[in-house]
Structure 1
Amino acid sequence: MKKVYLPVYLAVRAIQRGNKGTFLLTIMIVALSFVLMVFMPSLTAGITGAYNQQVSDYQYADLVIEPDDDNQVLSDTDNLIRTIERIPGISAASSHMIVSTSLKSEKKTLSRGITTIIPSDEEQVTRTAGKITEGRYLSDGDTDMILLGSVLAGHDDEKKDKMESLGGVHAGDSLDVTFQNGVVRKMTVAGIFETGSLSADNEAFITRKEMESVLGETGESSLILIRAYDADSLKETKVRLMEFGIHDDIKTVTEKGEGIIGDALKSFSLLNSIMLVFSLVIASIVIFIVVYINTTHQRRQIGILKAIGIPERDIIRDYLVQVAVIYGFGAVCGVALFTGISEYFKAFPLQFPAGAVYPVFDLTVLLPSLVVLGFVSLVAGFIPAQQATSEEILDLVNR
């Protein structure tokens, strides 16, 4: 008990007699270092989560089935969907067939692949129908009707367009749609949707009935979207699909998202590493300097403590306890500061192409950062303390 009490007593006395401004400033530097360590990883997690949510809600649902490497399309789609919907854990499925077209408005002509859907099926797997800003969503029996994303439709003022668009098309306007077999149809814009996802809002949809009237019945699709009952067990659902004899390329929404933004995530990982190193270096240098200055100013006191029989290890522990106190207060302030920042960005999120983004309060990021910062702080405090206490008593007292 004495081994513990003496270093704590010495540390408390040193803090009480020390410069309060320096003490508080060091705590704030530790707190800010912690925030720097966790902010970028937390923001990256927020971006990834927002992107995966957007992909799930408006593009690929929970799972997506695509043709394998030996095929360009999925065959016998209707029977395949019936099989899928009988599998436990599956809520609904919807087929997509992407066809090459040319879209001509009064201002622009664009070559674009448009997606054919059965609207009643699509409403069960994606949430696009709830994002209509003009007009209405498609119905199964619609012909000569097309649904456009807001990015593809564009603005009347083309300077506001984020990508190449049709130049400001609105619900009720007409488009000339030229299909891959040369058939030209004049279609009315049924509605405009806006999801907040740049890629989703750059899409166009027509009904399967419309496609079949132009290209004939093929029973083929480019992909099948699947909505599961439990979004937290998609890997198990994927395995279940394979067990039921579906051997096409099956991906969860996370796997699909990683394939699309993988390079961006690698760049963020590099930034995370840089921020981590800088934060640790800053915190360790500050703590090293503070302890070094303290030991330099207290050399005579250290010599007296050694002269009256206080072991070197207890004197070192004295400084380590001081560092631990600084780190403890700094960690608490850092967590509180980061929580405040996170809550602020929840109320006023950052706008990314993936949607509204804010740093995610994730214990798997916070706890390792606290452990690493604590370890580095103790090492930075130990080095100058050990150097000072290792000197001879006379050298310490006479300087």
Structure 2
Amino acid sequence: MADRPPRKKIDKDKLLLAVAAPVLAIVAALAITSVIFLTTGDDPFRAFSIMVDYGSKSDSQVVIINKAIPYFLSALAVAIGFRMNLFNIGVDGQYRIAAFFAAVVGGALALPGFLQIAVVMIVAMLVGAVWSGIAGLLKTTRGVSEVISTIMLNSIAAAIIGYFLHEGRLAVRDGNLIHTEPIPEAAHFFSIPTQEDPVNGFIVVAVVVGFLYWYLLGRTRFGFDLRTVGRSEEAARASGVGVKRMVVTSMVLSGVVAGLVGMPTLLGESYNYGTDFPTGIGFTGIAIALLGRNNAVGMALGALLWGFLERTGGRLEFEGYAQEIVGVMQGVIVLCVVIAYELVRRYGLKAQQRKVGEQLAAEARTDKAEVSA
């Protein structure tokens, strides 16, 4: 009988630290939020009870999932840059300008449904890639910080959309609303029926993109090179990695994913780009990427948590709680997660250093005993 390969031992210390960080973050967030409720004269336990009860209803679950889809895609776009130590603040502008031009193309064409959906999505990804790639090129050719360039590109994207989103240019007037030509009904994205409202079918695309993110960045040579550049450009350059090429490539990939952020709304809800098209999702993605620690599963859970807070926040306001309390809770949760993970990381590093020191000391004593013998 052939010998079986030895099973890998579970590192109990590493597992304990991995569990300790989110637990510490949750406990701290609940404690701080409770203090905030108490300072405003409100009962925190009643507030949490309302949120859990309302958020667990079947209709609320559908709304939470639908809200989480674009948040998750936005977080993935941000995380691609984070994994390479790039801070892409331009996801908001990238998905908006991508959705706008995708809506223009979708409203102007009359192709078979599946083909038109594919064209709209491809246009969105290409526009997002180009808009994000500009920041990558500026960084590698002129040394411009991607933080500055992406902020400026957000403003330029908003200005371009504002110029073309006028009657007689690339938009039409519908009563008091101005929007692009509607996308034909045959090109509307499918939905998943439930007992309540349907779930946006773009959840399938989000899952696929999340899997590709995990596989590409965690299981391929390209992902290894990308993470190496993020940790040490000098080490990456010494190992033969083209640092400038990886910077541009990662920004382009971030833009490709950013281009999909507006698609659940465009192809599954509004079917056009108008003045009421949702904004700010890109900045929410930054918070969720931090919340999920750039991990695909973690960001999915973070997106669901964000959707839960937004859904139940309206109920809290209806029950007499301050309107701003949800925003405060979101900020507290993100801060607690970031701080908790950093504290646990430092503790783990010190524990590892102490363990190595003890091993070296034990080896030194053994060698000294052998010499004396």
Structure number with the higher strand fraction is 1
TM-score, with structure 2 as normaliser: 0.23
Larger radius of gyration: 1
Q: Which has the higher helix share?
A: 2
